[in-house]
Amino acid sequence: MFDWKAIGMGFVVTLVLAIIGLFVPFLGLLAPIIGGIVVGYMIGGGKYVDAIVDGGLSAGIAGFIFTLITVLLLGAAISTAAITAGYTGSTGALTAVAAIIGAIVAFIIFLILGLIGGIVGVAIKGQPKEAMAEPATEPEPIAEPETARMSPDIAFNVENVQKCLCPTCPVQAESDCAKEKLIKLQEMMQSEEEMNPTPEDVPGVYCSTGNATCTDIDPSKECQCPKCPMWEEYDLENGEPAGVFCRDGKAM
Ligand code: SF4
Ligand code: SF4
């Protein structure tokens, strides 16, 4: 409510202008209005109530002190002149009463003019920048690129088993486990019965089934997947993992 910095500044401006107004016509009347404007401008932000209270208070106090001192000095001057002229009575009490009454009247007048100035000051300052700013808009959601890669979802079937290059891959070349599975798979393919292998039977198609069940493979050797027809067909180059599925799991 009380902005003492603004009140102090308004008080000083009003008092100085009121003193100058003793010599400049109408400036004494404008002093509380200008002082109130200064207070209102310093408060700003649309705070009209604060500006009215602080502007009126600063101007009222300035008017009270200005009038009190002025009337006392004037009374002292008149008293001195009266004594010089031979008057022997006392004018002190009359001067004091006049000073107090004048100061109270001045306080009320300056207070009213000061609060008007406070309103004007806030209006001149205007609304705070935040209130005038454009309302914040929600950021546009980032659209998924239309070419986003989908999970390959590679089927484990006879057709893909026959395409797979894993059985000839150097990674499995020294693996007894993989060789054994490969022999059984070849026997299965040569038999008259319908071929229906499970992932455990096949030393390959790891892009579909995930890690190899054989543990004696050597993934440090060169993966053959980039040479496999499945590589291009399912865009495995851009998948995760990009090859060595026997070690790193199925393609995503
Ligand atoms: S997934 Fe790649 S590295 Fe693993 S056996 Fe098959 S071709 Fe070789
Ligand atoms: S991409 Fe690799 S794991 Fe998949 S079928 Fe071809 S060689 Fe086998």
Indicate the domain borders of the chain: 4-130, 158-248
pLDDT band at 183 (very low <50, low <70, confident <90, very high): very high
Ligand 1 pocket, residue 244 CB under 6 Å: yes
* pLDDT over 90 at 151, yes or no: no
Q: What is the dihedral of CA 219, 221, 226, 229, to 10 degrees?
A: -80
Residue 36's pLDDT is 94
| Separation of alpha carbons 115 and 55, rounded Å | 5
pTM: 0.48
For atom 6 of ligand 1, which residue has the closest CA?
A: 166
Torsion of CA 43, 47, 53, 59, to 10 degrees: 40
Rounded to the nearest 10 degrees, what angle do helices 48-84 and 4-20 cross at?
A: 40
Token code pair at residue 123: 């209006």
- Answer yes or no: is pLDDT of 69 > 60: yes
Q: Are 108 and 60 in contact (CB under 8 A)?
A: yes
The residue to mutate among 165, 182, 221, 237, having the most atoms of ligand 1 within 8 angstroms of its beta carbon, is 165
Cα gap 99→113, rounded to integer Å: 21
Cα distance between residue 164 and residue 112, in whole Å:
96
Count Cα atoms within 13 angstroms, Cβ side, for 102.
17
Query: Would you state the pLDDT for residue 163?
Result: 94
| Nearest in space to 107 (alpha carbons), one of 32, 53, 37 | 32
Residue among 171, 179, 213, 231 to mutate when testing ligand 1 (max atoms within 8 A of CB): 171
Cα 56 to Cα 54: distance, rounded to the nearest angstrom = 6
Q: State how far the Cα of 109 lies from the Cα of 28, in Å rounded to an integer.
A: 11
Of 137, 171, 142, 161, the closest CA to residue 247 belongs to: 171
Per-residue confidence (pLDDT) for residue 219, from 0 to 100: 93
Q: CA 3, CA 55: separation in Å to the nearest integer?
A: 10
The predicted structure's pLDDT at residue 12: 95
234 lines ligand 2 (CB under 6 A): no
In this predicted structure, which of 23-37, 142-156, 196-210 has the lowest mean pLDDT? 142-156
At 149, which amino acid appears? R
Beta carbon of 242 within 6 Å of any ligand 1 atom: no
Joined together, the tokens standing for residue 89 give 């009575």
| Cβ(230) – ligand 2 distance below 6 Å | yes
How confident is the model over 52-61, as a mean pLDDT?
94
| Mean pLDDT, rounded, for 113-140 | 75
Share of the chain above pLDDT 90, in %: 63
Q: Which ligand is nearest to the CA of 232?
A: 2
Ligand 1 atom nearest the C-alpha of 204 is 6
- In the numeric block, the tokens 């009380």 are attached to 2
Indicate if ligand 1 lies below 6 Å from the C-beta of 202.
no
> DSSP code of 172?
T
Pocket of ligand 2 contains residue 41 by CB under 6 Å: no
Instruction: Report how far residue 87's alpha carbon sits from residue 33's, in angstroms, rounded to the nearest whole number.
Output: 41
Q: Is 175 in the pocket of ligand 1 (CB under 6 A)?
A: no
